[in-house]
């Protein structure tokens, strides 16, 4: 790992120097001059703006959080989306400007995308889930033809060990909940440590595949935001589509997803055993992500509840629920279900 790739909490992850003038000058440097104001889109890890350029076209500019990814990790994400587009999988991929997709200006790295528009995908019926499964299957069929060299892998060390270390150092976990929180966080971590990922094949993934990262336009589902692309088991890009607490209902939803998925890509049904461990990974990692970014005022404005007692009380309950679920058998596919 080179110095550019090292990720430590001591690095400057801030956007304090990213002024409107700097953004406009950065865009002008690649020949995309804004003719409208910059509309900040719903992104916290990076800074993302929509605008109309002087050519009359609508674009989206993404300024990467400093020091989070190396250049190679970002470019590997760009190449992946370009592969998908070449195979007619509907994704948003960066524009090539000046023969490159990643640009630098004023100490920041940025990328320009076409703005495709569209609306968020709402949680739908089983037909909708089957359709989503087909799209993920198409994505994975291409993803399996290559590998990542620089992007990270879904792993216990990052999602659990490092996340819990961050939470131990965070002043945001109330003193009066420390005992209760760690009384469940530690046994849950030990349970997750014992999960064996080795029997399952891994592949390139979207990495953060949920409904908010899909847009519906002209009846086409388009994937956006590959910022968390990484290597891992296929189920990582499927489980977040399952909704509700009813076990049987989630099994039926999964069957609908896989039914569509397998029109384009084979699914290893044994991977259902990883759904709840991966959910636990995400819950723990999300808390640590907020803790690491709390000095960014954008996070304090967007997630004020993170510093409140009731949030941490709820997290104690959530971790207890996850620990209990991990003791149960995984949900099964419903091979005889007709939808």
Rounded CA-CA distance 132/136 in Å is: 6
3-state SS, one letter per residue, for 222-242: EECCCCCCEEECHHHHCHHHC
> Which of 12, 21, 127, 208 does the annotation list as catalytic?
208
> Which of 21, 125, 225, 237 does the annotation list as catalytic?
225
Rounded CA-CA distance 290/55 in Å is: 38
User: Could you write out the DSSP letters of every residue in 58-114?
Assistant: EEEEEEPPTTTS-HHHHHHHHHHHHHHHHTT--B-----BTTBS-EEETTEEEEEEE
Q: Catalytic site residue 208?
A: yes
Q: Catalytic site residue 4?
A: no
Instruction: Specify the DSSP class assigned to residue 51.
Output: E
Token pair belonging to 146: 């290559």
Edge-to-edge order in the sheet of strand 220-223: 119-120, 214-217, 220-223
- Residues 92/214, Cβ–Cβ less than 8 Å: no
- Residues 230/205, Cβ–Cβ less than 8 Å: yes
Cβ count within 10 A of residue 227: 20
Rounded CA-CA distance 165/175 in Å is: 16
Rounded CA-CA distance 60/117 in Å is: 10
Rounded CA-CA distance 40/302 in Å is: 13
At residue 232, the 3 state secondary structure works out as: strand
Token pair belonging to 243: 């909704």
For 226, half-sphere exposure in the C-beta direction (CA atoms, 13 angstrom radius) is 30
User: Which residue in the block uniquely carries the two structure tokens 């397998």?
Assistant: 262
Token pair belonging to 92: 């948003």
Active site residues: 208, 225
């Amino acid at each position: 790992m080179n110095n550019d790739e090292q990720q430590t909490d001591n690095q400057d992850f801030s956007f304090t120097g990213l002024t409107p003038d700097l953004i406009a000058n950065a865009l002008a440097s690649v020949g995309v001059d804004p003719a409208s104001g910059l509309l900040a889109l719903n992104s916290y890890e990076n800074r993302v703006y929509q605008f109309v350029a002087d050519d009359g076209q609508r674009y989206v500019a993404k300024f990467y959080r400093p020091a989070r990814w190396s250049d190679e990790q970002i470019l590997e994400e760009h190449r992946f989306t370009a592969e998908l587009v070449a195979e007619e999988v509907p994704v948003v991929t960066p524009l090539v400007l000046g023969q490159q997709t990643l640009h630098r200006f004023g100490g920041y790295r940025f990328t320009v995308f076409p703005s495709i528009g569209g609306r968020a995908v709402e949680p739908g019926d089983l037909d909708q889930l089957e359709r989503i499964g087909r799209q993920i299957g198409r994505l994975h069929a291409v993803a399996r033809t290559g590998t990542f060299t620089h992007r990270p892998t879904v792993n216990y060390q990052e999602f659990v060990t490092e996340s819990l270390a961050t939470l131990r150092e965070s002043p945001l976990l109330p003193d009066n909940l420390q005992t209760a929180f760690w009384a469940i966080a530690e046994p849950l971590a030990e349970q997750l440590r014992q999960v064996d990922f080795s029997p399952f094949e891994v592949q390139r993934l979207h990495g953060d595949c949920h409904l908010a990262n899909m847009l519906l336009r002209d009846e086409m589902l388009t994937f956006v935001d590959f910022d968390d692309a990484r290597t891992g088991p296929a189920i990582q890009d499927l489980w977040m589509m399952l909704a509700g607490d009813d076990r049987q209902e989630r099994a039926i939803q999964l069957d609908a997803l896989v039914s569509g998925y397998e029109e384009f890509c084979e699914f290893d049904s044994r991977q259902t055993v990883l759904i709840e461990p991966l959910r636990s990974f995400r819950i723990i990692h999300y808390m640590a992500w907020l803790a690491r970014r709390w000095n960014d005022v954008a996070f304090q404005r967007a997630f004020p509840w993170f510093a409140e007692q009731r949030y941490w009380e709820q997290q104690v309950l959530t971790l207890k629920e996850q620990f209990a679920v991990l003791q149960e058998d995984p949900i099964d596919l419903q091979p005889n279900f007709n939808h």
